[in-house]
Amino acid sequence: MQETFYKQQILQTVRKILLAILIFIPVLMNANPIWLGVSISEIYFNESGEWTIEIDNKYITSVEYLDSIRIESNTGSATIEHFDTNDFIVITNSNLSNYISISKNGDLIKIYSFLGGGYKIDSIAIGDYSGSYLHNIENGQSVARLYGYDPFFKDSSPTIGFENDLDGAKGKIFGHFFDLNSELIQNKYFFINEGYCTPILQEQGHAGNIEINSEGFYCAEITSRSYSISEREIYESSTNHELMQFQPVNFELNENDSINIDFHRILTSIEEVNRDKVLLSNYPNPAKDYTYFIFDLNGIKAVSLLITVYSIDGQRIDSFVPNSSEFKWNCSELVQGTYIYTLSIDDQILAAKRLQIVK
């Protein structure tokens, strides 16, 4: 019996060494290391606020080969002393070397996988903890993710011990997209992949992209969490798309919510719209009561010209057709600060400059 035990110990040690080699040899060869760590799949808070953590074990050869696994929260850390080796490992305080608490109102939860002197970390911030996008978690809810290292969402239908799904985790946003001139952006599409828009749409038999229709309207189901959106890749086709910046939109979405969210494009870069042949300037600059906009198209023929003035945060202040190449404009009502003005030719912005107002 003792000989068998020693053989098992030797075999276990050899396996750990081989596993460590799989991790560190690719690093030494400047290749991508093989992922062998566990990840947090779900954290559930019961009606009393007690926590249960589900660990995703599908991305490791076998969790039993690890030296140890530790869980850490703001109150301390503890080693997981005993667990099964299923794809989804369920952990409570009864599995730990010592008691720790996890606060759904604000905490940073980390899980460490130790092997051969190295370790891997997976973590998630919840509640009011800095960097969290998972606020106002209620008892009876969980925070979960579909896959190993994807974003989390709030889930009112916990699935501890089983494959996670999107039931109990969806709300709806809808609205319009507007360009720099407050005109509708039409017949395009976009994604909110941090909100799992593609798998939600595919569940419903759709292609997976959020459509902006001929009236500039969109409607999308995404997962329950907080969002901060200031830019998005807007597609006309898979090969024709543009990264657009918008006035920042911050919102929290809960299950079954339906929120109107409009996106207004802003101009954030002057350099990206400059064109070699078009000259644009103004004087005086800084200006107080008036300024002259001066432009030279250098022979470019245009059906329509338009000068538009924006505040620095992208709000349109004024838009007008210049009746000469040296056009006087009244700016006496503007507050002191920096503004951006653009010259559009046939609805295409070809030049942009800064205007400074002093009082």
Instruction: For residue range 126-167, list pLDDT tens digits in order.
Output: 999 988 999 999 999 999 999 877 899 999 999 999 999 999
| Cα→Cα distances 150→41, 123, 147, Å | 9, 12, 6
Same domain, 137 and 175: no
Same domain, 70 and 149: yes
Same domain, 299 and 227: no
Among candidate residues 207, 238, 264, the one where a domain is terminated = 264
Parallel/antiparallel/unpaired status of strands 240-253 and 337-345: unpaired
CB 189 within 8 A of CB 211: yes
Among candidate residues 155, 180, 214, the one where a domain is terminated = 155
Nearest to 158 by CA among 127, 137, 181: 137
Report if residue 163 sits inside a domain. Answer: no
110 pLDDT higher than 90: yes
Report if residue 228 sits inside a domain. Answer: yes
Same domain, 253 and 343: no
280 pLDDT higher than 80: yes
Number of domains, the chain: 3
Among candidate residues 233, 264, 295, the one where a domain is terminated = 264
Arithmetic mean of pLDDT, 275-296: 86
Residue 137: partners with Cβ closer than 8 Å, 6 or more residues away: 45, 104, 105, 126, 127, 143, 154
Same domain, 251 and 277: no
For residue 189, the domain's CATH number is 2.60.40
Report if residue 165 sits inside a domain. Answer: no
Report if residue 92 sits inside a domain. Answer: yes
Same domain, 175 and 147: no
Same domain, 43 and 150: yes
CA distance 22 to 58: 17
Question: Whole domain around residue 195: which residue ranges?
Answer: 170-264
H helices within the chain, ranges in order? 2-28, 197-203
Same domain, 189 and 86: no
Residue 184: partners with Cβ closer than 8 Å, 6 or more residues away: 176, 177, 178, 215, 216
Report if residue 94 sits inside a domain. Answer: yes
Report if residue 192 sits inside a domain. Answer: yes
pLDDT score recorded for residue 117: 78
H helices within 74-196, ranges in order? none
CA distance 104 to 78: 18
Arithmetic mean of pLDDT, 175-180: 93
Q: What is the pLDDT of residues 237-255, one digit of tens each?
A: 988 888 888 988 999 999 9
Same domain, 281 and 312: yes
Same domain, 225 and 198: yes
Report if residue 64 sits inside a domain. Answer: yes
Q: What are phi and psi of 305, to 5 degrees?
A: -120, 150
CA distance 346 to 96: 68
271 pLDDT higher than 50: no
33 pLDDT higher than 90: no
Same domain, 44 and 134: yes
**Cis bond before residue 284 (omega within 30° of 0):** yes
Same domain, 184 and 130: no
Report if residue 5 sits inside a domain. Answer: no
32 pLDDT higher than 90: no
